[in-house]
Amino acid sequence: MKTKRVVKLNPSQLLMLVFLISVGMGTILLKLPISTHTSITYLDALFTATSSMTVTGLATVDIGSTFTLTGQFIIAILIQLGGLGIMSFGIFIFMMLGKRIGMKERIVLQHAFNQTSIGGMLKLVKYVFVFSITIELVAMFILAFRWIPQYGVYRGLFYSFFHAISAFNNAGMALMPNNLMAYVGDPLVNIVVTTLIIIGGIGFTVLIDLYQKRTYKKLTLHTKMMLVGTIVINLFAMFMIFLLEYDNAKTLGELSLSEKLWASYFQAVSPRTAGFNTIDIGSLHESTLFLTVILMFIGAGSSSTGGGIKVTTAFIIFLATFAFLQGKAEITIWRRKISQDVLLKGLAITMISSIIIIVAVMILMVTEHTSFIVVLFEVVSAFSTVGLSTGITDNLSPLGKQILIILLFLGKLGPLTLIYSLTKQSHCKISYPKEDILIG
């Protein structure tokens, strides 16, 4: 008698499978005639669906003119699913129906939100949905004051709905041909969109911690590092962009002082995995492009809607380097010690991410006829799920588009999730003798 072999998936493999199925369904829906004004290829539909689910924002076609209202609504739903996690949606619905959530589902949530334990996962899901929907509705209401007078009630409301979702989930997709360049000096659009990017990018665990503690002293070390890291990086980036692009006639040069400040602030926040732009990215100086590459590589916060190696990862590596230069054996900050396991995980994330980016850049340098900095920019933007582009995305070769699709997929799931899904974790208790080697 033959027995059926049941394939058991670990949480990382299950997340990958659910993601692939969602992208496949999104591709089919976007390819339907009702979704587009003009026919698009399956590759373009796949690229758009993947970019939406990974909340990246890169596009091979113009979203506003290519897709109908139905298609744009499908994209908005894909962005929402990708930002909050489709597994979270499924489990939230089960919770609303009073269904029991088992240990396996909690472990999957733990992997999806990059948490260190499964404790409190269901409470986290509830908070995530309440916070997200509330913040998006408030932002939609505020943006409506700008876009209803400009586009009319129905179109203005939909524009507000779409861009609130796109900004909070750090997707960066816009329905205007030039993204948000028409609003470079608009305080309302600048403040609302950047606030959504920051809130969505600092991570749900930080939002919950801020909501529950409400005083700085009681906050967790992770929350403090995220808040300080976000403020420092954004201010430094704003100053550098203002300085580097001040006389560039194609970006900040022709703007008034207030518009220069707004544009510098916006482009300092946006590379933190959002992808919106209020100035022409393709016209930036190479020095500014490289600065933006660094910002994109660092990315947002853990358990957030953004990508990158994460702010805390960069923070930990910096602290480890500083501790080494001071001759310290331990990594400490604010009277707290960071474990070696956290440092090793951070180094692994950074190294794996760097290898993936290097390989992708080498391939695209062969397939695409453009400069190194432009290719590097596009690759890091895709892998870090940012969505900023110098304008070469729609001109990429079919192989180039396929490479970016893979990068979108890897960047959204995270390098460690990929490794965990392909390898068996070792629990070896054997300890070997220590021997030093020469490095440096």
For residue 391, the Cα-to-chain-centroid distance in whole angstroms is 19
pLDDT of residue 124: 67
Largest CA distance in the chain: 80
pLDDT of residue 345: 83
pLDDT of residue 19: 79
Q: Is 331 helix (H, G, I), strand (E, B) or coil?
A: strand
Do 410 and 383 touch, CB atoms closer than 8 A? yes
- Of 218, 382, 207, residue with least CA distance to 302: 207
Give me the amino acid identity at 286: E
- Separation CA 70–CA 158 (nearest Å): 11
pLDDT of residue 1: 46
pLDDT of residue 392: 86
Q: Is 388 helix (H, G, I), strand (E, B) or coil?
A: coil
Instruction: Retrieve residue 269's tokens.
Output: 């926040």
Q: What distances in angstroms separate CA 68 from CA 31, 51, 360, one per listed residue?
A: 11, 18, 33
- Tell me how long the chain is: 440
Do 387 and 274 touch, CB atoms closer than 8 A? yes
For residues 212-226, one letter each, b for 16 or more C-beta atoms within 10 angstroms of the residue's C-beta and e for the rest, the string is eeeeeeebeebbbbb
Output the tens digit of pLDDT for each of the chain's 440 residues.
455 554 565 556 666 777 788 889 999 999 999 999 988 999 999 999 988 888 888 888 889 889 999 999 999 999 888 877 655 555 555 455 455 555 555 555 555 555 555 555 566 677 777 788 888 999 999 999 999 999 999 999 999 999 999 998 888 888 988 888 999 999 999 999 999 998 888 877 788 788 777 787 888 888 888 888 889 999 999 999 999 999 999 999 899 999 999 999 999 999 877 888 999 998 999 999 999 999 999 888 776 667 788 888 888 888 888 888 888 878 888 888 888 888 888 888 888 889 999 999 999 999 888 889 999 999 999 898 888 888 888 888 889 889 998 898 888 776 655 555 555 555 556 767 777 676 66
